[in-house]
């Protein structure tokens, strides 16, 4: 199964809290929470794309770690290949986002309390159930 779009997301943890961002209402899946990240451009590695997207969207640097979860999910007639990587902030925590109307640190036990797009849900379940970086 070949994906139509390849996307990466950062799982940024601070103790038992995980950073998530709420999509602007005027965007596809508006109002849903997601892990920050974005599309991988042609010729770009997943890790480089993730660092670029976090810098563009949140204005902070990260160090990309190991892969937490990867899935291919049909979304709106397209196949989305999402890879969720652990990441560590190399700057202060972000205060705003260019693509989101809210940024929040969720405790793991709160992750299931908000709505997530389909591709993120498996990673949410892993994190809520206590998955840690390996």
Q: What is the pLDDT of residue 1?
A: 59
Domains parsed from the chain with CATH numbers: 5-128 (3.90.79.10)
Local structure of 43: helix, strand or coil: coil
pLDDT along the chain (134 residues), means of 10: 88 96 87 97 97 98 97 91 98 94 97 96 95 69
Q: What is the pLDDT of residue 134?
A: 43
Q: What is the pLDDT of residue 94?
A: 96
**C-alpha to C-alpha distance for 51 and 37, rounded to whole angstroms:** 8
Q: What is the pLDDT of residue 27?
A: 81
**31 — alpha (psi -120 to 50), left (phi > 0) or beta?**
left
Decide: 31 and 22 in contact? Cβ < 8 Å: yes
**C-alpha to C-alpha distance for 29 and 27, rounded to whole angstroms:** 6
Decide: 119 and 82 in contact? Cβ < 8 Å: yes
pTM of the model: 0.93
Helix (H) or strand (E) holding 70, with range, is: strand 62-75
> Phi and psi (nearest 5°) for 133?
-65, 140
């Amino acid at each position: 199964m070949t994906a139509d779009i390849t996307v990466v997301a950062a799982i940024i943890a601070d103790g038992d809290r995980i950073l998530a961002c709420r999509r602007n209402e005027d965007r596809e899946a508006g109002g849903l929470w997601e892990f920050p990240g974005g599309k991988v451009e042609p010729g770009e590695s997943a890790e480089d794309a993730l660092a670029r997207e976090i810098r563009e969207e949140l204005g902070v640097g990260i160090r990309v770690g190991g892969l937490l979860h990867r899935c291919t999910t049909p979304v709106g007639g397209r196949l989305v290949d999402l890879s969720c990587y652990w990441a560590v902030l190399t700057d202060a925590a972000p205060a705003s986002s260019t693509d989101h109307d809210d940024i929040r640190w969720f405790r793991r036990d709160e992750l299931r309390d908000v709505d997530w797009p389909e591709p993120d849900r498996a990673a949410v379940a892993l994190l809520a159930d206590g998955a840690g970086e390996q």
